[in-house]
Amino acid sequence: MLKALQKSGQAVFEPLRRVLDHSFDPGLNPLNHLGALTIYFFWIVTVSGIWLFLFFKTSVSGAFESVEYLTHEQWYLGGVMRSLHRYASDAAIITLALHMIREFVYDRYRGNRWFSWVTGIPLLWMVIPLGITGYWLVWDQLAWYVALTSAELLDWLPIFSDSMARNFLSADALSDRFFTLMAFVHLIGLPLFLVFGIWLHVLRINGPRINPPRALMAGSLAAMTVLSFVYPALSQGEVDMTQVPRSLGLDWYYLLVYPLMKTWSPAWVWGLLSGISLLLFVAPWLPSQRSKSAAVVDLDNCNGCARCSDDCPFGAITMMERSDGTAFEKEAVVDPSLCMSCGMCVGSCPTATPFRRHSALSPGIDMPDLSAATLREKIQKVSNKLTGNQRILVFGCEGHNKTEKLKSRLNDSETATVDIVCMAQLPPSFMDYILSRDLADGIVLTGCPGGECLYRFGEQWTGLRIERRRDPRLRKRVDADRIALAWQEPWSGLSGIAAVVAALRDSLRPGHIAEQGADEKISLPPARVNSWKLPLTVTAYTLFMIFVGWLSVWPRYQLIGQGQAMVSLSFSHAGQRIRECRKLTQEELNELAPNMRKIDDCPRERLAVRIAFSSDGITLYEASRPPTGLWNDGESNVYHRMVIPAGKQKLFIGMVDSDREEGFDYSLEQEIDFTPGQHVVVEFDSIAQSFVFKEG
Ligand code: HEM
Ligand code: SF4
Ligand code: SF4
């Protein structure tokens, strides 16, 4: 099931990757920089947000006006900053969602990666409210809807005793304090948590890529700026709580679940959100992965050079004080809970040399599942079967998974394949060994390029070691022309690798003359210079921006139908005590301690308040609201929104706060001629002890 899900995810991702590979230069495919792009978009959000804050007025009356000023009067700067702020936030959600899906479908979320995965989930819970509070601050009609719906969601949680949503039903209930609180949460609180969260998220990754390539940064900023001029972000009309807007342009990136509140109860929405989060939290352990053995250090062979610790992509190796009394200063210590069993540390260990004759091949660090000694044996075994004058040994890795197919395709005795975990597991001394011991005439190293590598640094470390730019370097005596590289996306066919094998074989033939640049390494030919590259890149950016801009307001969300109006019931009222107070008798008083003697015995608990609301005799709402408070002694909260048809309606509200069975303790009947979109709030005046129907 999980595998099928991953496979279908890959089936969607891969065509997209191919298309983007054609549109961008190699290494610039945005799908390989999703996490870094998300961080970059947050930078744009931060810088543009600072500009907006300079002009923003944190008050009910000033908020809308100040944003309008920026949008229209200062459109060339403030307006652009506002649009950049919105579009970069939206783009961040796209890259964030793709980042998460990518890690899942390519199985990069389990093992030691559980930490990045699990710490990624709270980031979602910070980013989404960050966007929601941003929409709130603009205080336009959308903000009103966002405020009301968010408050209704929050009211379900047992945090506040009073209803928060009530503050957004009528203009006189709203105070500036809410704006100060929202501004604090949006500008300081959540961003600080987010920075800390991102730091924690990449903490266990060695050399995390937190900056995308410059060309991608420049391209996406330019595209977003163009979008900001062409399709600037606008407010959606000033708030008028007496009138409900028929439809709103929702930002679906942040407000996707809000429309659910129309038909679902807050409990169901919270259930859905917590269910998804829970599923994500346990995902790295569902089902449990076949555990591979972690790298093991052999102190007798470790000289404390720290190369393994530098190369480990997952920070699983720490250099510690020497513990065995030898003259070396440090020793490598592997944390098995962090080790992903990629074997790169073996590739970097100078003691992993197959040339040892008199002692067993036992390097300072080794992989129990495929030790250096076993690897040497494997190489010897397959090369013994090779015949011919241009014998080639092809190394394949776990993520790339191509050797089986290659073997059956070539089906000759001049080519053999050996599988290792990751290409960087193969120490350069093994290549030296193969060529100098005449086990083969040439070597082809295959694997996934750059960001595709399952273990992150396979291509990078291997390339640098062969180019003699990173320890352990390929020895000078080794003819590097006999080593060819074939880095190719895992989904591409076999023809690339087969071509590299053929080219290497050709180059090994006696009398072969290199066609061009004799010192050029044999590898996959660089992608042909595509004259369509620029138009394709521009098209990719344009489509991305259309997608960003489109879902930030479209499709419009219909709040109420054409001929509809809205009624909100919103009040608090304390039910009567569960029984009447009574006077204590003298005997009862005598039994009490002197300081506890009170003449009246009054119970704390109150009765629930029952309400019925009807229109033209049809009951629209009936409820029994329990008292609030730990001791059931607080007021009962009544909050309910209803959509009703416009036109003349005879409204009736009745309430019982006692234990009576029949009739109502308080009631009001009134005929109202609703205009479409009109909003009426039903309140209970606690001083006059009567209901009122008032404009929202
Ligand atoms: C604010 C949101 C996020 C940002 C800015 C972010 C950023 C990053 C960055 C920069 C990396 C390092 C990439 C590399 O060096 O190759 C990373 C890795 C990772 N992220 Fe995120 N991330 C975010 C949210 C998430 C979420 C929601 C999930 C999944 C629930 C997630 C899962 C992962 C995983 C599993 C890795 C490790 C990949 C590996 O080891 O190859 N991230 N993230
Ligand atoms: S195998 Fe080695 S390099 Fe790979 S994660 Fe484990 S300790 Fe690090
Ligand atoms: S690379 Fe090898 S010798 Fe160097 S510290 Fe690591 S285990 Fe020890």
Pocket test for ligand 3, best of 303, 326, 371 (most atoms within 8 A of CB): 303
Q: Of ligand 2's atoms, which has the minimum distance to the CA of residue 294?
A: 6
Closest-CA residue, ligand 3 atom 6, reads 308
Model confidence at 528, in pLDDT bands (50, 70, 90)? low
Indicate which atom in ligand 3 lies nearest the CA of residue 319.
5
CA–CA separation, 259 vs 541, rounded Å? 30
Closest atom of ligand 1 relative to the 112 alpha carbon: 40
CB neighbours of 305 closer than 8 A, spacing ≥ 6? Answer: 350
Cα 31 to averaged position of ligand 1 atoms, centre (Å): 12
Ligand 1 atom 8 nearest Cα: 35
Burial class (CB in 10 A: 0-12, 13-18, 19+), 242: middle
Instruction: Note the pLDDT of residue 453.
Output: 87
Least confident of 100-109, 210-219, 510-519, 574-583: 510-519
**pTM of the model as a whole:** 0.85
Note the pLDDT of residue 652.
97
Q: How far is the CA of 317 from the centre of ligand 2 (A)?
A: 7
How far is ligand 2, taken at its centre, from the CA of residue 420, in Å? 14
Residue 358 pLDDT exceeds 70? no
Whats the size of the chain, residue-wise? 696
Least confident of 114-118, 417-421, 538-542, 598-602: 598-602
Cα separation, 544 vs 98, in Å, equals: 13
**Mutate which of 345, 346, 366, 397 for ligand 2 pocket (most atoms within 8 A of beta carbon):** 345
Tell how far the Cα of 306 is from the centroid of ligand 3, in angstroms: 6
Q: Give, rounded to a whole angstrom, the gap between the first and last alpha carbons of the chain.
A: 51
- Note whether 6 and 283 are within 8 A (CB): no
CA of 452 to the centre of ligand 1 (A): 14
Choose among 492, 496, 490, 498: nearest CA to 526: 496
CA distance 499 to 525: 9
Ligand 2: residues with CB < 6 A are: 294-295, 312, 314, 316-317, 334, 339-345
* Predicted local confidence at residue 44, as pLDDT: 98
CA 203–ligand 2 middle distance (angstroms): 16
Q: What percent of the chain has pLDDT over 90?
A: 71
C-alpha 267 to ligand 3 mean position (Å): 55
Res. 512 pLDDT band, cuts 50 70 90:
low
Per-residue pLDDT tens for 16-40?
Answer: 888 887 888 767 889 989 999 999 9
Protein residues with CB under 6 Å of any ligand 3 atom: 297, 302-308, 332, 348-349, 351, 364-365
pLDDT for residue 524: 64
- Confidence grade of residue 204 (pLDDT, cut at 50, 70, 90): confident
Q: What pLDDT was estimated at residue 290?
A: 62
Q: Using CA positions, which residue lies closest to atom 26 of ligand 1? A: 120
- Rounded distance between C-alpha atoms, residue 417 and residue 383, angstroms: 9
Both structure tokens of 191: 């961003």
Residue 468 C-alpha to ligand 2 middle, in angstroms? 22
Ligand 1 pocket mutation pick from 6, 44, 123 by most atoms within 8 angstroms of CB = 123
Nearest CA to ligand 3 atom 1: 349
For the ranges 217-221, 444-448, 594-598, the lowest mean pLDDT is seen at 594-598
Please report the pLDDT score of residue 493 as a whole number. 77
Pairing of strands 679-685, 666-674: unpaired
C-alpha span between 494 and 405 (Å, rounded): 8
Pocket test for ligand 2, best of 308, 342, 370, 420 (most atoms within 8 A of CB): 342
**Ligand 2 atom 4: residue of nearest CA:** 342
Is the pLDDT at 349 greater than 60, yes or no? yes
| Atom number of ligand 3 nearest to Cα 332 | 5
Looking at residue 515, its pLDDT comes to 55
**Ligand 3 mutation target, pool 299, 300, 308, 339, most atoms within 8 A of CB:** 308
Average pLDDT of the residues of the chain: 91
Write out the DSSP string of 554-594.
-SPEESS-TTEEEEEEEEEEPPPBSS--EEPPHHHHHHS-G
Q: Confidence class of residue 404 from pLDDT cuts 50, 70 and 90?
A: confident
Highest mean pLDDT among 140-149, 357-366, 480-489, 496-505: 140-149
* Pick from 212-216, 517-521, 638-642: least confident: 517-521
Shortest-distance ligand to the CA of residue 363 = 3
- Strands, sheet with 442-447, edge to edge from the N-terminal-most edge strand: 415-420, 392-397, 442-447, 483-487
Is residue 225 packed enough to be buried (19+ CB in 10 Å), middle (13-18) or exposed (0-12)?
Answer: middle
Listed as own residue / partner, the contacts of 114-119 with beta carbons closer than 8 Å and 24 or more positions apart are 114/284, 114/285, 115/203, 115/204, 116/201, 116/202, 116/204, 116/205, 117/280, 117/283, 117/284, 118/281, 118/284, 119/197, 119/200, 119/201, 119/203
Alpha helices in 283-425 (DSSP H): 307-311, 344-348, 372-384, 403-410
Q: What's the pLDDT at 582? A: 85
Rounded Cα distance, 504 and 501, in Å: 5
Closest approach atom of ligand 1 to CA 42: 5
C-alpha torsion 2→315→293→110, nearest 10:
-10
Instruction: Name the closest-CA residue to atom 2, ligand 3.
Output: 349
Please report the atom of ligand 1 found closest to the CA of residue 209.
15
Q: How far is the CA of 489 from the centre of ligand 1 (A)?
A: 21
Question: Quick one: angle between helices 266-282 and 141-156, nearest 10?
Answer: 80
| Nearest-CA residue for atom 8 of ligand 3 | 302
Please identify which residue in the block is written with the tokens 């989404």.
128
> What is the Å distance from ligand 2's center to 345 Cα?
5
223-279 pLDDT, tens per residue? 999 999 999 999 999 999 999 999 999 999 999 999 999 999 999 999 999 999 999
Minimal-distance CA residue to ligand 3 atom 4: 305
Q: Which atom of ligand 3 is nearest to the CA of 307?
A: 1
| Ligand 3 center to 252 CA (angstroms) | 52
pLDDT of residue 122: 98
Which contacts qualify for 150-159: CB closer than 8 Å, 24 or more apart? 152/261, 152/266, 152/639, 152/641, 153/261, 153/266, 153/269, 153/270, 155/266, 155/639, 156/265, 156/266, 156/267, 156/270, 157/270
pLDDT for position 202: 95
- Cα–ligand 3 centroid distance for 461 (angstroms): 16
pLDDT greater than 90 at residue 87? yes
Å from CA of 567 to ligand 3 middle: 73
- Taking the centre of ligand 1 as the mean of its atom positions, its distance from the CA of residue 222, in whole angstroms, is 25
Torsion of CA 383, 384, 388, 390, to 10 degrees: 20
Mutate to test the pocket of ligand 1, among 33, 116, 279 (most ligand atoms within 8 A of CB): 116
Residue nearest to atom 3 of ligand 3 (CA): 302
Write out pLDDT tens, residues 647-673. 999 999 999 999 999 999 999 999 999
Using one digit for the tens of pLDDT, what is the confidence trace for 169-201?
887 778 888 889 999 999 999 999 999 999 999
Provide the sign of the torsion angle of the four alpha carbons 262, 265, 266, 269, taken in this order. negative
Give yes or no for residue 615 having a pLDDT over 60. yes
Segment 281-304 shows an average pLDDT of 88
Taking only the tens place, the pLDDT of each residue in 122-157 is: 999 999 999 999 999 999 999 999 999 999 999 999
Ligand 2 binding pocket mutation candidate from 334, 367, 370, 456 (most atoms within 8 A of CB): 334
Residues with CB under 6 A from ligand 1: 35-36, 38-39, 96, 99-100, 103, 108-109, 113, 116-117, 120-121, 123-124, 127, 198, 201-202, 205, 208-210, 280, 456
Counting ligands in written order, the one closest to the CA of 421 is 2
pLDDT at 588 over 70: yes
Percent of the chain at pLDDT exceeding 70: 96
